[in-house]
Structure 1
Amino acid sequence: MVSILVSLLAGLGLFFAGLQILTAHLKRLSGRRLRALVARYTRSPLMGVLWGGAFIAVTQSGAATMFIIVSMLRSGMMSVAQAMPMIVGVNVVGALIVLILVVDVKLAVLCVIGLAGLLYKADGRGTAASVVGALFGVAMLFFGLDLMNGSVAPLAGEPWFADLLSWTRGSYLLGFLIGCALSFVVQSSIAVMAVVLAFELSGIFGLAESVMIVYGTNAGSSLLTLLLSANLRGQARQIAMFQTFYNLAGAALLVPLFYVELWFEVPLMLALIQAITADMGGQIAAAFILFNLIPGAVLMPLLGPATRLLQRIWPDTEVEIASRPKYLHEHAADDPETGMDLVALEQARLVRYLSGMFDALRDDRPPAAFGAIREAFGILAATVRETIDDLASGHRMTDHSYERLNALLTFQHALDSAADTVSGIATERSALAATEVGQRFAASVIEGLDSIVMMLGDVLREHDADDRDLLSAMTGDEGKGIKSVRAAYLAEEATLAPDERLRLLALANHAERLIWLLGDMGRSEPATVEP
């Protein structure tokens, strides 16, 4: 008995460990090029369904597929309307995974684990290492499923266990609730299906009970999605709610049909499943596939109204709107010179976001304002860095073009460091907010730094020599920017306690570092074009 439970636990652990390894490596593979390719070929709903199906077929992971979809939404490459058909494809094709549970793939899976394990390097960062790591994760996932399937069969033969479950016979609603609960707790409908399949093959459940457990399993996964998405907002929330509604709509449609078939002896789903195959395992797989296929067929014509309704109920957040590229697009890296012009324009926007961070730190702004603009900066900056990487790896360039691209990359590194420094300033400002001296010093630093950031913005926008000279004077080693910070610190520090003085000094050091970074960005300004 102990060995049965240990095997079941080991199978579950291998399943989730494989899922984690798979997801981690797929994140490395889902770069801008892949996302741009998907965005380009999801213009029609049918192509969106096919791409969603392709992702889930390759990854065997709804979580990994959802990560790719959400990352494309956040980078502005794809709209929610394009993502909806992909969700349909994920559900429909993802249901086919259950067919593997009724086929003996243990030998093939062990071969894949052996080969991938020999090639796998946990610290590998290249594309090949990520592919091998993802393959290793898939193999572990299916090995865990096979182990669970094999361990449940002996458990089902235990007299006490059979007696425990025998009272569920004929209680179809209870079977639905069991499926919901198992899927909610285990957090994987495929893992639950492995258990249900073993029970049905052992004769504990009949076809009708098993079908209702299958329905409950899918509904339970939607309830879990609903719970996990409670704190999501904007487009991520729209996608999560569509996924939730997808399975709940299937349950709302198929559960009443189930009872109509039983009570009135009308041949519907059970008759269709039995007509498809007489194999017990195949019937469970067919029920799972049909549950995911039928809602997709019903919802496909309604994707447009559904998208508009979801956007009305959970509108795009300010962060999502602000983090979308204004100039970069899916073809931005096709032509190096044009792509670099567009990168420079987005970097000018990021400089304005630095100013927005200081605006969010002023006393009259709500505490969450800084976090929102900082998050938008980070998302847009990641898109800019990916485009620079694409430009560097996808084209042969002249020496002049490489120099300009290097200047853009250097400028981006400085921008990222500047944003991190502003975050440090925000932390120290919050700690100093309890004292009047700290508030006064932080306010003066914020106003002075914001004026320098706005001057850098003028330089990037106007390319005026006088503005550049003024920025250089404000940010030099003995410029008035650094002098003003030091003077303000010396004026206040004598009146503070030692710990408060250290906070004040830390804020002053952050300010001086930011002034130096802004001056460096002004001196190394890449050539830009007017928006």
Structure 2
Amino acid sequence: MQYAITVLAGLGLIYAGLRLLAYSYRRLASRRLDAVVRSGIGGTLTPWLAGLAVGAVARNAGTITLTAGGLLSTEGARPSRVLALLCGAAVGTAFLVFLVPIAPYTMGIGVLTVAAILFLLDIRHADQAQFAGEAVLATIILFIGLVTARFGGEALAAAPGASDWLAILATPPAALLIGAVLGGLTVSAWHAAILVIAVVEPGVLAPAAAALALAGALAGSTLAELVLLRRLGGTVRQLVNAQIVPRLAAAVVAVAGLLASVGDATALAEAVGSLLHPTDAFGLAVLYLALQVLTGVCLWIWIGPRLTALVRHRPDGDEALAAPRYLFDADAVDPETALDLIRREQDRIVPHLALVVESALPENRGTATGRAEATTRGIAALGQAIDRFATDLIDRSHERRPVARATRAMIRTNALMELNAALSEFAVLAHVAATSPAIAPIVDAMSESLHALVTAVGEALGDDRSGDDLALARALTDDRSGILRRLREKVGRSDDLIETEDLGFVYQMTGVLERCVWLLRHLVDDEAATPGVPARPSA
């Protein structure tokens, strides 16, 4: 029993060292990772190489997905380059896994070398010394964990009566379950791979069973990310959802091949099994790399057409706004009356929108929760009022006019309602997410940017608007790429978000912010295209 506790303690130290190491690496390279991703997508760097570099340092596709989603949403990225970057990142995570089976001190030298390189890349910043020190501390913890796990594992394998328990762990169902649990708890396939490999050499887990555990870890980590990121929005949601199925497909293919290699199988299955059936810890590292390459291939086959469709047909385009949500009968509506009523309701709605976002600002967040909730309820009531007056309009309208302006009135109504819902959701998320110190700077940056946008658009939609007001609103909403770029810089300077529950809020609020900016720009463009706007000449 004491030897099993020693193994578990060693694995705990390994995991703690890996988490601290990932944190320090990301902080050391935070000012460079975003630039590398943008270079890979923009064309100045090979996307595969950029993905390998960021995957080896950040060891998580979340950072790349967030950046790539922003670049795709601004139509400034080529889908093929984004896809190559994601595939390269999947393979780049195998960096540390290859150092584990060689020797603990070799792994320590490797991680310290990378930390030194990252430190020298950005030595001008004073806080880099702190992050380099954290990398050294993480390496020491990792080294102690590896030695402890190896010592406990050798003692456990030699203990009398332990063979029966180890034989149970070596069965395929148990090995798959172990890998899936480790992948789900760590939410990282490479974390789980290192933990599995660390107990193979001492004899706690047989290589064949460890291979199944690696495939289970890939599936478990994927399902854990799916649960963690279940509330995503915007372009980032499309990218994340597109990666779930290929990663699960790679795990299923690997499990099928491994199971075929341990039983009576055909010649083809035996040939596949000979490639996937490792005999030592180094073979497991090779298997992990093969799994990541297989994941990259599945990404290439699965995501390619979807990325192209995502760029060509936006989920937040006119076709989404033109959905017949309020049952307008375009042939029966009096378009002049419809536009007048919608403008009247718009004048009532816009000030409420500004109050919702204002309540999410950092200086008001602590005391304005009740007001934000009341304002959200008020917005919902206004939405019901719009629904009622649209229905009444259909009932009392008997004239048949050209349908163009009636359709435009319907789109304007739907845009306002979509904006109501998006801003209300953003305000509620801001209050919830701000309780986490790790993402408070990101929430503050989003709230301040969105508040400035809503204020400018509100002035552009007012009765006393001018040409200058419309020009300012269009310029601000045009800067969506700049808003997302500044957000990514905040993410790079923040704490270790990618492997915590905070990641769900970051992705969700990014999607909501992206949609709010697009809707605001839609309203500004529609206002500028309306005859008689601006109401007075600019100063």
Deviations 1:165-186 (A, max 9, x none): 33133x2133112101111012
Tell me, yes or no, if structure 1 residue 241 matches structure 2 residue 241. yes
Deviation, 1:6, is 4.4
TM-aligned CA distance change 1:450 to 1:189, over 3 Å:
same
| 3-state DSSP of counterpart to 2:100 | helix
Consecutive unaligned residues of structure 2, counting only runs of 5 or more, are 322-349, 357-374, 384-416, 429-444, 473-537
Distance across 1 between alignment mates of 2:130 and 2:463? 46
TM-aligned CA distance change 1:49 to 1:161, over 3 Å:
farther
Tell me, yes or no, if structure 1 residue 264 matches structure 2 residue 317. no
**Which residue in 2 is equivalent to 1:40?**
42
Deviation, 1:232, is 0.6
Tell me, yes or no, if structure 1 residue 368 matches structure 2 residue 421. yes
Distance across 1 between alignment mates of 2:97 and 2:114? 24
1:16-95 to structure 2, matched below 5 A, reads 16-30=19-33, 34=36, 36-41=38-43, 47-73=46-72, 77-78=76-77, 82-95=81-94
Deviation, 1:307, is 3.0
Deviation, 1:417, is 8.3
Counterpart AA for 1:101:
V
**Which residue in 2 is equivalent to 1:154?**
151
Distance across 2 between alignment mates of 1:99 and 1:13? 19
Deviations 1:168-209 (A, max 9, x none): 33x213311210111101223223222222322122322221
Q: Would the aligned equivalents of 1:186 and 1:192 in 2 still touch at CA under 8 Å?
A: yes
Distance across 2 between alignment mates of 1:451 and 1:215? 56
Deviation, 1:218, is 1.0
TM-aligned CA distance change 1:114 to 1:296, over 3 Å:
closer
Distance across 1 between alignment mates of 2:84 and 2:54? 13
What RMSD, in angstroms, separates the aligned Cα atoms of the two structures?
Answer: 4.8
Distance across 1 between alignment mates of 2:14 and 2:468? 61
| 3-state DSSP of counterpart to 2:205 | coil
1:198-209 to structure 2, matched below 5 A, reads 198-209=198-209
| 3-state DSSP of counterpart to 2:93 | helix
| 3-state DSSP of counterpart to 1:231 | coil
Distance across 2 between alignment mates of 1:183 and 1:196? 10
Q: Would the aligned equivalents of 1:357 and 1:373 in 2 still touch at CA under 8 Å?
A: no
| 3-state DSSP of counterpart to 2:96 | helix
Distance across 2 between alignment mates of 1:166 and 1:13? 28
Distance across 2 between alignment mates of 1:112 and 1:246? 30
Q: Would the aligned equivalents of 2:207 and 2:281 in 1 still touch at CA under 8 Å?
A: no
Deviations 1:35-64 (A, max 9, x none): 542331289xxx433321121123344444
Deviations 1:485-530 (A, max 9, x none): xxxxxxxxxxxxxxxxxxxxxxxxxxxxxxxxxxxxxxxxxxxxx9
**Which residue in 2 is equivalent to 1:188?**
188
**Which residue in 2 is equivalent to 1:167?**
168
Distance across 1 between alignment mates of 2:62 and 2:135? 13
Distance across 2 between alignment mates of 1:237 and 1:462? 31
Tell me, yes or no, if structure 1 residue 419 matches structure 2 residue 443. no
Q: Would the aligned equivalents of 1:222 and 1:243 in 2 still touch at CA under 8 Å?
A: no
Deviation, 1:65, is 4.0
Q: Would the aligned equivalents of 1:59 and 1:65 in 2 still touch at CA under 8 Å?
A: no
TM-aligned CA distance change 1:168 to 1:27, over 3 Å:
same
Distance across 2 between alignment mates of 1:295 and 1:116? 28
TM-aligned CA distance change 1:372 to 1:42, over 3 Å:
farther
Deviations 1:222-272 (A, max 9, x none): 111211120012322222223322221112222222233332153334412
**Which residue in 1 is equivalent to 2:101?**
102
Q: Would the aligned equivalents of 1:12 and 1:144 in 2 still touch at CA under 8 Å?
A: no
1:125-140 to structure 2, matched below 5 A, reads 128-129=125-126
| 3-state DSSP of counterpart to 1:102 | coil
Report the TM-score, using the length of structure 1 for normalisation.
0.55
TM-aligned CA distance change 1:454 to 1:164, over 3 Å:
farther
Deviation, 1:88, is 1.2
Kindly name which structure, 1 or 2, has the bigger radius of gyration based on alpha carbons. Answer: 1
TM-aligned CA distance change 1:257 to 1:155, over 3 Å:
same
Number of residue equivalences: 359
Counterpart AA for 1:259:
L
1:449-528 to structure 2, matched below 5 A, reads 450=459, 455=464, 458-460=467-469
Q: Would the aligned equivalents of 1:28 and 1:130 in 2 still touch at CA under 8 Å?
A: no
Distance across 1 between alignment mates of 2:141 and 2:100? 11
Deviation, 1:30, is 4.7
Deviation, 1:289, is 1.0
Deviation, 1:211, is 1.0
TM-aligned CA distance change 1:416 to 1:248, over 3 Å:
closer
Counterpart AA for 1:85:
A
Deviations 1:432-485 (A, max 9, x none): xxxxxxxxxxxxxx99x747867565225579xxxxxxxxxxxxxxxxxxxxxx
Q: Would the aligned equivalents of 1:355 and 1:453 in 2 still touch at CA under 8 Å?
A: no
TM-aligned CA distance change 1:284 to 1:75, over 3 Å:
same
Distance across 2 between alignment mates of 1:114 and 1:247? 31
TM-aligned CA distance change 1:271 to 1:301, over 3 Å:
same
**Structure having greater relative contact order (Cα 8 Å, sep ≥ 6):** 2
Counterpart AA for 1:150:
V
TM-aligned CA distance change 1:422 to 1:301, over 3 Å:
closer
Q: Would the aligned equivalents of 1:92 and 1:296 in 2 still touch at CA under 8 Å?
A: yes
TM-aligned CA distance change 1:94 to 1:78, over 3 Å:
same
Consecutive unaligned residues of structure 1, counting only runs of 5 or more, are 323-353, 376-412, 424-445, 464-529
Q: Would the aligned equivalents of 2:50 and 2:88 in 1 still touch at CA under 8 Å?
A: yes
Q: Would the aligned equivalents of 2:68 and 2:82 in 1 still touch at CA under 8 Å?
A: yes
